[in-house]
Structure 1
Amino acid sequence: MNKNLGNTIVTTNSIDSGTINILKDGIDLPTQYFDRSIIVHNGFFYHIKSGKFIKFEMQESALTEIAAIPMSNQHIENMNWQGKDTLLLFTLDNKTYSKLHYYKIDVKKFEIIQKEEIHLPVAPIKFPIVSIGFSTLHQNNLILGYTYNKVINETDFTTIDTMYFATLDPQTLKIKSIQKDNRSTYPGGVNTVQSYSFHDERGNFYFMSCPGIALGNNLSKPTAIFKIPNNTTTVDSSYFFNLTATNQNHAYGMWYLGNNEAIIRSERKDLYNDFSDHHSTYQFEYYVVDLLKQTATKLTLPYDKGTRKESVLVENGKAYITIDDKDDNHQVWIYNIQTKKISTGLKLDKETDFIVRIDKLN
């Protein structure tokens, strides 16, 4: 996101060093097509807009629409890749925000293989809006983490105090079972915007709950990490990594480093006033968390701004962290996972306002 309120994609072969002038070297994104929730995969860009799910390709320094599928009155809540050419989309309707649809799409032929409405249990009367926090293929099942919300007024909402986990047959989409957990709420988040879950090397699935002001807005509940072990489809009732207890704040975003470690992005409630300035305040800190020891170590980095960003890319033993700091620096910081040392990498010029995401294109 640029200071002139435009949006730009910048591509580069290295983020370990160098500088980029975003307006000179970047590609403008038409606002009618794109926002921060684009999907980047195997050299192509995907986005839902104006009633269509669209596939884009970079051609002659521009993004060009090369295919589209009608998808009216829908927005993406969550997505997953099943192999390199099969995309699973979970969408809600834009009218009631309660009707959940599943699309299985062959992105090579760009056609819908399967479309189903998933009939979750009827929402509580006082919390009519559904939020899908994560979707994962696990133990030959499809597991959805979700919760229910309600609008309080034009600028405020809140979330019910419970997380729900539906286990489905991945072929028929029939619900096998539903588990409830009230240790926190809002399991995950819209993963086209920010990452909140992963499988480790042993097949265990971890996800973060997000009850903070920017997602669930149920501040009585803690941000925490939960686990579905590799040999079951049930959330482990004995595992509860309470992140809020470690620093008295809520967090948004989690990226796996390997070897039982992850990076989380945590707010500072003493540095912002309310949701109106949450995104513009330099307040976000990054921590390395040990999933087994349940400890959190703050990284020595400048405060970042921007409420929800896909700001971490893990590659070749390094975590590349993009930060927009108070001195108007828009910098890639490099955390060496083995040595724990931090260095600086690629820098964008001061035409930049927010680095909203960092992705591997190919």
Structure 2
Amino acid sequence: MTVRNGSRTVALDGPGGEFGDGAAGRVPDVVPVRPLRRPGRWVATVVVAVLAAAGIYSVATNERFEWDVAWEYFRSEQLIDGALMTLRLTVFAMAIGIALGIVVAVMRQSGVWLVERVADFYVWFFRGTPVLVQIFFWYNIASLYPDLNLGIPGMDPWLSVDANEAITPLMAAMLALGLNEGAYMSEIVRAGLLSVDEGQMEAAQSLGMSRLRALRRVVLPQAMRVIIPPTGNETIGMLKATALVSVVAVADLLYSTQVIIAMTFQTIPLLIAASAWYIVMTTVLSIGQGWLERHFSRGALAHPPDPFWVRWRTTMTRFHAPRPVQRTAATEPDQVEGGPR
């Protein structure tokens, strides 16, 4: 009988067997496995640890950061209100963007020429202009349309409102961020829909479902596994993009920080406090994204992604690759010639 040891085939029967005491056909209990030496990883770990420790020590001992002042501003009512406004802007802008993204993505796959071209123009226009320009445009929309009318052209409008009253700075910010995000979300949703096999739609329609119902009940839930990760990334990007609305005097986190800086001239501590709030909110959104990814990965992946805190703990406690597990010859019958296959 022979056993494959790596790239060699070793005879076990007879006195010349590599593992043996001469007993014919005897299989060793344990095949020794030696871990691969990787000294470069240990060197890199030491170098990175030293540099990280030096950076942390420098930041912690530099009195010019004024950590105590930054902590006081972090807990101040003005920055808390600004952080809540930032969250509200993010939620409403993403709600507008996701709704528009789904509609535009379906329009681009409708098969109707005019509908597809209108959707293409929307994506082309809003992806081609900077979001800051769009904020200024909506903020000054009253210069083009003093009155916003709803109705049939050539007839008396059904509804007419003053643009200055309807398009407040907050409304202008939400419209600009939401419409701009809708163009990007349409591409994300379209990619998710294309990732689902066409046979799913055909099977749903063969069961009597309408195309819209099949899209909502069959195709879209399967596409969510592809849509969720980039959507979470867009949400985090939107959280930080809300800082642009400070140019139209919306009292978000950055605007509140700038107001306090103008009164106290304590620039560095206030910027540290604002950055800390952004990091806290981004971390919460990342945890929510991980939960959604695990929820929509059920049944699709054999091993759904671990929760955020598990990945963080594993990353912080593992400094090298796991060592290979020793394998017994009894548990690998395929390695013995003549064994079961």
The structure carrying a bigger strand percent of its residues is 1
Choose 1 or 2 for highest CA Rg: 2
Normalising by structure 2, report the TM-score. 0.22
TM-score, normalising length from structure 1? Answer: 0.21
Q: Which has the higher helix share?
A: 2
**Structure number with higher relative contact order (C-alpha < 8 Å, ≥ 6 residues apart):** 2
